Every structure is written in structure tokens, then in C-alpha cells.
Amino acid sequence: MTQNNSNDLYAIDARVKNLARDWDAHLTPMGTILCNHFTFVLKDLYDFSDTLSEPYKHRLKEILEKHEGMPRKIIELGRKKK
């Protein structure tokens, strides 16, 4: 399995952190904490999706993959100046 579609914790973590720091080479400590917590939530949901039958399993995985970049959006909002 490649990293791009793996449900392995480290693969999910790498995808989430790579998306979060795509525009910035580093994550702040709070950004890292956010990504770590989000990774654990995604891992639980990916594991749950494996218990579902098709087409629900495939659809849930599509939804989860679509939202793997959520920490980046939160970090961007936190950096915007008011």
C-alpha cells in the first residue's frame, strides 16, 4: 500500500502534516499538536470504515481523504491578521 491511500497511523500523520505545512516549511508546536490530534481522529474513522460494507466503506474513505487538509485551514485562519 502506498502512503497516499494507507490507513497506517504514520502515513496518515505524514499526509496531514504535509498538507498543513505545504505553504510553510515548519509547523509551530500548536500546529503540530493540532495535526497529531486530528491524525488520531482520522485513524479511528479510517479503522471504522474498514468495518463497513461497500459502498459505504469507499464513500466514507473518500470523505475522510477530502478533509485531511483541515488542520491547514485552521492554521491559516489563526495566522490571519484582524
| pLDDT band with cut points at 50, 70 and 90 for residue 76 | confident
Mean pLDDT of the chain: 84
Distance CA 62, CA 74 (A): 21
* Secondary structure (3-state) at 5: helix
Digit-coded pLDDT (tens) for 6-44 = 788 999 898 888 888 866 567 888 888 999 999 999 999
Q: Mean pLDDT over residues 37-52, rounded?
A: 94
| Contact status, residue 61 vs residue 49, Cβ threshold 8 Å | yes
Pick the residue with more confidence: 59 or 7? 59
Backbone angles phi, psi at 12, to 5 degrees: -60, -45
Q: Is the pLDDT of residue 2 over 60?
A: no
